[in-house]
Chain A
């Protein structure tokens, strides 16, 4: 009797264990499916270059780099206009880059014959820098345009590429 009872008990516990394993396997299957789905969706939604340099899309750097330039840079200007560069180098405007007054001209540099730049608007251009203002550094040449010239255009007297206090004034 005792042996039979032991047999029954062990048979019962084996069945319970088997049932548990089936249940667990089913759960594991569900988890595995979820994991696979997660990985599939993850690879579909996250851009390829994400994480190349950090927690962002690495391709964004290339896209921002690819933007065309508008200001050509003074080296480009000077390669075609060395005469103006020479005049400018002798005067007080030597450190000022061409496009500071003439505006962005990269497109003109790419196609110099068809895209010719307009002359700067002298009436507004010069006074932006040289009109009197208490906040400007002392020693910077400033004038009250009305008092100084009766609002005459600056380039009637001054040579914009090489304006000196004396030598730049047109005779």
Chain B
């Protein structure tokens, strides 16, 4: 069969239109995560925390955290009067199974959930001799467990006690802010499991994130601000006794 030049000129636009139609039916490519468009932090509302330990259990299940070690944990504080420098703090098994009844009947009592602050000027990153712990461009402090030599400097350096030495991997381990989840558009496991909304993941670069309105209208504090670590865990209702 031969096609004349006239027939070809008619057929080509038709084929092009058909090809456009085929392309329109294919699904869009998955939205790729852009490292430069996020800046992660967390909002922790002490006035909402009930110490149920859901976050601790969720973290352990999501990240295979070994028993007796914690990437996040809850502390229970008791301040009786003016002894703000000497609070009574307990955290049975990191608060994983909740808290037993307190022996105190009065004073000030509250729970403080803790996790890596993902500091902007993190002491742990500064001391790593091999470049195994690092800041991602979206503000998360991570450990490259294939590169870590297990020297434990970072564990010593963290002023918040957020790192531990993994008992079987023999490398430093810490909260990743569920990096494998937040890069997929999900929230962290601890925030997903928190029943009262005491923990909220915050994207500080996203102008639509509700954290901006919250920070403008509440008295919010970070832990150990005098250390100038640039901590990004913002605590609402933080008492001065919390260390």
Contacts and interface: CB of A to CB of B under 8 A. Distances in A.
A104 B62 contact: yes
Interface of A is mostly: loop
A60 B62 contact: no
Contacts of A74: 192
A74 B58 CA distance: 14
Given A64-B179, A69-B181, A70-B62, A133 B132 contact: no
30 contacts: A50-B131, A53-B134, A53-B136, A55-B131, A56-B132, A56-B133, A57-B131, A57-B144, A64-B142, A64-B176, A64-B179, A68-B180, A70-B62, A73-B192, A100-B54, A104-B58, A128-B52, A129-B50, A129-B52, A132-B101, A133-B102, A134-B102, A134-B105, A135-B102, A136-B51, A137-B48, A137-B49, A137-B50, A137-B110, A140-B196
Contacts of B48: 137
Contacts of B47: 137
A96 B99 contact: no
A3 interface: no
Given A56-B144, A69-B180, A71-B192, 19 more contacts: A54-B134, A57-B144, A61-B179, A63-B146, A64-B176, A64-B180, A65-B183, A71-B61, A71-B181, A71-B193, A95-B195, A97-B193, A97-B195, A100-B192, A100-B193, A100-B195, A128-B52, A129-B52, A140-B196
A99 interface: yes
B135 interface: yes
B53 interface: yes
Contact of A140 (B50, B135, B181): B50
Contacts of B180: 64-69
Contacts of B192: 71, 73-74, 97, 99-100
B175 to A, nearest CB: 12
Contacts of B240: none
Contact of B144 (A60, A65, A103): A60
B52 A95 contact: no
B97 interface: yes
Interface string A63-101: 111111111011000000000000000000101110111
B142 A55 contact: no
Nearest to B111: A135
A131 interface: yes
A59 to B, nearest CB: 9
B221 interface: no
